[in-house]
Structure 1
Amino acid sequence: MQVLSAEAIPQFQEGISLTLSKWWALQIAVENCWGGPHSRDKALELSSRVFDFFYKPNRREPIYIDDLELLLEEGLESFNTVADDGSIEEVAEKLMVMHEECLEGNYKSIQKLKEVKSMPVPRVNQEVYDSDEDEVEDDDSMRETEASDMMVDSSGSLPSTNHPQIQKNDGRHQPMPDAEDGWTVVPPRKNRGRKN
């Protein structure tokens, strides 16, 4: 079975890193530390695991995209995050194609990735839920300060909210930011109890 050349190895490693750095589900999990205080290290570890998946000098068995998808899914789960937007399959396919290209000494797709700027990932402040009572714990004074600094546009000019959802394993969906301006539409806080 064909393996990556010495020249192709660093190219492919960079391609993996670039691909994962542009994967929205992973980046929002890293930026918001959903994998704990070492979220960036976990992302680097995932990149290494993906490379090891492809690069085994004495490999005899073929590489299956299903196995790669499972690896990516498990990597995302280490951030307590589930992507139900089809991005796991998309990232896996890109990596498979990139690997084939690198085997042929073709690095054009990696060069294209270098030229595409990553969209900034906004910080998402999550509410903490009590697992037993499922009630929101929050700091009232902080909420009041934030509320006084915010204005709501009710003129109907809000951007479309038909974005794919990133779901934390606690069952709540995180809205994706609008691609044009980076703002996120947040649902109202109706019917949520407060802990006394």
Structure 2
Amino acid sequence: MEPPRQLPEQAAPIFREGIALTLSRWSALQMAVDNEWGGPNSRQRADELGHEIFAWFTQSKEPLYFDDLEDLLHDAMISLNTVAEDGSVEEVAEKLLIMHEECLEGNFTAIEKLREASLKRVAPAHIKQVVEGEEEEEDSDSEDMMDDSPYMMVDAPKAQPSPTAVNKAGDEGRPPQTADSDGWTVVSSRKSRAKKL
């Protein structure tokens, strides 16, 4: 068996960045780090994982097998006192292997997309929207409203390309949405909004 192909010199730092971006989007890992489930040096362990993955791809003399990468990721999660039973270990391993193959071919499209997505991301699985007008006056258990700010965090809808705007008058008409110069979609608030959703 021949050893794995080596990354071209110019591809190595881009692949390293791709590993870091992939790990930063792995919610199970980030939750373990944020909550310090592996102790106060959880962040350091997550950073070391990135280095271990890069070394595994670039310094291995043996063929690269999916199962070996999976084991590496599982062991890293266990070191953070975390067991990811959501299939994310396999998903991350697969993404990393595909990314490595693409980098060998000089294709950095996936990494560029990850880079763009990380720049746009405000918080995982949320988008930030401006709420036009006054704050909702009803009592709400929602912690999404922060310090009476005119912003709210909204789960990104999966079925629709953008949230549906509802006007203040309370009728069921759906006015066309408009985005301001910054690209934010303005959503009018109304008191019964929480009951409708």
For the criterion TM > 0.5, the same-fold answer is: yes
- Check 1:116–1:22 CA distance in 2 against 1; reply closer, same or farther (3 A cut): same
Which residue of 1 is the match for residue 155 of structure 2?
A: 180
Which residue of 2 is the match for residue 22 of structure 1?
A: 25
- Check 1:99–1:179 CA distance in 2 against 1; reply closer, same or farther (3 A cut): farther
CA distance in 2 between counterparts of 1:179 and 1:25 reads 21
5+ unaligned residues in a row in structure 2: which ranges?
Answer: 125-138, 143-152, 157-197
CA distance in 2 between counterparts of 1:119 and 1:72 reads 26
Which residue of 2 is the match for residue 41 of structure 1?
A: 44
Which residue of 2 is the match for residue 116 of structure 1?
A: 117
- The 3-state SS of whatever aligns with 1:82 is coil
With structure 1 as the length reference, what TM-score do the two structures score?
A: 0.60
Structure with the bigger RCO (C-alpha within 8 Å, sep 6+) is 1
- Give the deviation of 1:120 after TM superposition: 2.9
The amino acid across from 2:10 in the alignment is E
Q: What is the alpha-carbon root mean square deviation over aligned residues?
A: 2.3
Which residue of 2 is the match for residue 31 of structure 1?
A: 34
The amino acid across from 2:67 in the alignment is D
- The 3-state SS of whatever aligns with 2:47 is helix
CA distance in 1 between counterparts of 2:104 and 2:10 reads 10
- Check 1:36–1:4 CA distance in 2 against 1; reply closer, same or farther (3 A cut): same
- Give the deviation of 1:38 after TM superposition: 1.0
Which residue of 2 is the match for residue 6 of structure 1?
A: 9
- Check 1:10–1:86 CA distance in 2 against 1; reply closer, same or farther (3 A cut): same
- Check 1:179–1:19 CA distance in 2 against 1; reply closer, same or farther (3 A cut): farther
The amino acid across from 1:6 in the alignment is E
CA distance in 2 between counterparts of 1:73 and 1:151 reads 40
- Check 1:93–1:119 CA distance in 2 against 1; reply closer, same or farther (3 A cut): farther
Which residue of 2 is the match for residue 103 of structure 1?
A: 104
Instruction: Answer with 1 or 2: which has the greater Rg.
Output: 2
Match runs of 1:67-86 below 5 Å:
67-86=68-87
5+ unaligned residues in a row in structure 1: which ranges?
Answer: 122-149, 154-177, 182-196
Match runs of 1:96-175 below 5 Å:
96-117=97-118, 118=121, 120=123, 152=141
CA distance in 2 between counterparts of 1:152 and 1:92 reads 38
- Check 1:28–1:101 CA distance in 2 against 1; reply closer, same or farther (3 A cut): same
CA distance in 1 between counterparts of 2:68 and 2:22 reads 18
Aligned residue among 46, 50, 53 for 1:50? 53
- Give the deviation of 1:179 after TM superposition: 8.1
- Give the deviation of 1:52 after TM superposition: 0.8
- The 3-state SS of whatever aligns with 2:8 is coil
